[in-house]
Structure 1
Amino acid sequence: MFPPPSAGEAARAARDIADRHALTLESLLAVLRSRTASDRGARQTAIDIAAAALVDLRAASDEREAGVLEPVAGAFARLTRDLRPLMTYGDLDVQFVEPPENGRALPGDVAHAARAIVRNAVLATVDASSARRIRIQWDCDGRNLLIGIRDDGAGDRAAHDDGLRPIAEHVAGLAGDMTVTATPGWGTDVRITIPLDPPPAIDGDALGALTPREREVAALLATGARNADIAREVGISEHTVKYHVSQILRRTGARTRAEVVGLLR
């Protein structure tokens, strides 16, 4: 008998289902808005999309176990199939840079999460409506899945925007890292790193070994303060804040600031 899913697993499953619904609805809208498809062709395509989505959702309960591996090229190919309706009928030109076929295979949960993250990023770009082209790249360095998503929009997006913030939170939940670089007039470049192996255990007892200054910085981290805010509050430079944060990560074994915040809470 399998144990009941945890609250986190249930929330993740609900989020994945919502992602699938959003992708299906966005694809249907793209078809119905198309100026190149005939009424009959659009209707048939919409039926095909809905039928495929229904099959996909019904198969969701049979998602591969976390221990089962997916070849990185195969996981990427499935992503391209997911996004094909937007490529065919939408106004967004989606370009793919395929990963090397001999890259390390991805754990099933990482592959599944990575596809959901990219789908959400593409839909967020569609909602922003200023971009006409988006480039998606996957690679694997042996320890991490590396994702690059670049668009040619206005270049005014940031990680805390409504469209990208949920993606940043999803990445943080996977012990990953996400950076957003926006260049006005040239577009936005999103870089995501997702570890393929589970993070090491966090040493909660190590919090007691922090120096007084490190404990002060850690307490401000728990409030969601940024480096600049912490520097002003404590009266030190941002460079010194970065040093203290790196020391906190090293002492506790945490890999991200989010893990430290979770530990403190």
Structure 2
Amino acid sequence: MTDRKELRALDLVDSVHSVVSSSLLQIAGAFSQALAPVVEHSSLLIFTEDCTGRPQKKAGDPSITDHVSIAELDVVRGVVADLGHPVWGLNVEVARQERPAAVWIAPTGALLVLTDPVQAAGSLTQDDALATVASLWRLVAVSIQQQVAVASPDYLRDSRMASQERAQVIADLTDAHSTTLEQILATLRSRDAADETARQEAIELAASAMVRLRAVSDRDRTLAEEPVARAFERLKADLRPLVRFGGLDVQFVEPPATGRALPGEVAHAGRAIVRGAVLALVDQPGVARLRVEWDCDGENLLIGIRDDGPGELTLDDPSVRQLSERAVALRGRLSVNGTTGWGSEISVVLPLSAEGLDRSPSAQWQVTERENDVLELLASGARNKSIATSLSISENTVKFHVANLLRKAGVSNRAELVSAYR
């Protein structure tokens, strides 16, 4: 007979399964719910460099989640990395306040912070709770890493816009604070100031503040961008198993080392597209050689993958069509050219700028293509039966899509949904 402890373990397994099945935008909330029976907490904070557009994933108390910064979480990660093990009861600064926290770092380098941790009633001992959450966090962190690697076009679009907006906020803050601090320094350096000691101390404080501010800006830039040469090295590492175990002759054409840094989403999407393209090409009969090239013209990441196969691959191939959708999500394009008997070439252009990306509500809500079709008809005043007829689907399927749209938009009825869409 299964005892209560085994049932609790099975419940945890089921909960974590629901977490790793969640989207990247929902994973923090799902993980917070899964951990509540083990560790009660006021907020759950995740910091991962795998997800450059949204390196923070948060759930819980808005007074914490709305104000915690990347810089604060980076400091916490550094402290725990130095200790080399999970910590319960560590006082950390988050949202500009010191709070007790339980902290874990996954092998991927991703950080998990539970603020104000309390052992759940009838749960595990503190040591067992630390070990249990560590195991679960390893699974979730790997899931995040894998989801980023194969992110959907909708998530790529959202993440790209988030990176652009965050970079603009950081730039504005840096300029404003730098100007203020420079004015303070100019005033304090004035020879008319009376107290030399006070003036010197103030100068040192202001100078130190400027250094910290620049460090925050630089740190954000390292998260948001990836040098083109390093991005290509990571791509080569991704493809190494195919070269080593697949018997392929792969020629890599290196990008210029001084090329413009790539936005994180472009680097991730580029690698994912190349991996998918390589798999599509080698799935053809007779492919023995591949040529993979990256370049950057200052405004676009340019990708070329060529094989020596039958030359029959087209954009109509489902796997290639999916790759094209990813490129389009970043305002890019993918084309396929083949010559019978001489091979196929897949060419990709990904703009480095986020200008022109879709900022409509439907894009922000992360709707699928079919949900967007339903939403547009709904906004035109169509009822379920008419929508079902127009899209050749059942009324029950329409209701299913409408329910998903209400949830994603955070509204309670169709009128509110249409109003928010407009």
The alignment's TM-score, normalised by the length of structure 1, stands at 0.53
Q: Does 1:104 align with 2:289?
A: no
Shifted more, 58-67 versus 179-188: the winner is 58-67
Once the two structures are superposed, what CA deviation does each residue of 1:30-72 show, in whole Å capped at 9, x if it has no partner? xxxxxxxxxxxxxxxxxxxxx99x8983672897984621000
Q: What are the equivalent positions in structure 2 for 1:177-216 lying under 5 Å apart?
A: 177-200=333-356
Q: Which has the larger radius of gyration?
A: 2
Q: What residue in structure 1 maps to residue 230 of structure 2?
A: 74
AA aligned to 1:169 is E
Q: What are the equivalent positions in structure 2 for 1:81-230 lying under 5 Å apart?
A: 81-200=237-356
Contact 2:311–2:341 (Cα < 8 Å) also in 1: yes
Cα gap change, 1:147/1:201 in structure 2, threshold over 3 Å: closer, same or farther? closer
Cα gap change, 1:8/1:139 in structure 2, threshold over 3 Å: closer, same or farther? farther
Q: What residue in structure 2 maps to residue 223 of structure 1?
A: none
Residue 57 of structure 1: which of 115, 131, 142 is its match? 142
Contact 2:285–2:310 (Cα < 8 Å) also in 1: no
Matches of 1:139 and 1:153, distance apart in 2? 24
Matches of 2:295 and 2:323, distance apart in 1? 19
Contact 2:331–2:356 (Cα < 8 Å) also in 1: no
Matches of 2:294 and 2:252, distance apart in 1? 9
Cα shift at 1:199: 2.8
AA aligned to 1:94 is V
Number of equivalent positions: 160
Q: What residue in structure 2 maps to residue 239 of structure 1?
A: none
Matches of 1:76 and 1:121, distance apart in 2? 15
Matches of 1:203 and 1:162, distance apart in 2? 27
Cα gap change, 1:8/1:58 in structure 2, threshold over 3 Å: closer, same or farther? closer
Cα shift at 1:163: 2.7
User: What SS does the aligned partner of 2:318 have?
Assistant: coil
Cα shift at 1:94: 1.5
Cα shift at 1:8: 8.9
AA aligned to 1:136 is V
Q: What residue in structure 2 maps to residue 259 of structure 1?
A: none
Cα gap change, 1:201/1:171 in structure 2, threshold over 3 Å: closer, same or farther? closer
Matches of 1:203 and 1:107, distance apart in 2? 18
RMSD: 3.5
Cα gap change, 1:100/1:169 in structure 2, threshold over 3 Å: closer, same or farther? same
Cα shift at 1:203: 10
Matches of 1:153 and 1:85, distance apart in 2? 20
Matches of 1:98 and 1:175, distance apart in 2? 24
The alignment's TM-score, normalised by the length of structure 2, stands at 0.34
Matches of 1:57 and 1:100, distance apart in 2? 31
Q: What residue in structure 2 maps to residue 232 of structure 1?
A: none
Matches of 1:174 and 1:194, distance apart in 2? 7
Matches of 2:274 and 2:359, distance apart in 1? 32
Matches of 2:259 and 2:247, distance apart in 1? 32
Cα shift at 1:75: 0.1
AA aligned to 1:144 is N
Cα gap change, 1:127/1:104 in structure 2, threshold over 3 Å: closer, same or farther? same
Cα shift at 1:130: 2.8
User: What SS does the aligned partner of 1:111 have?
Assistant: helix
Matches of 2:252 and 2:146, distance apart in 1? 29
Matches of 1:202 and 1:125, distance apart in 2? 31
Matches of 1:202 and 1:167, distance apart in 2? 19
Cα shift at 1:126: 2.2
Identity rate, percent: 47
With a CA cutoff of 8 Å and minimum separation of 6, indicate the structure with the bigger relative contact order.
1
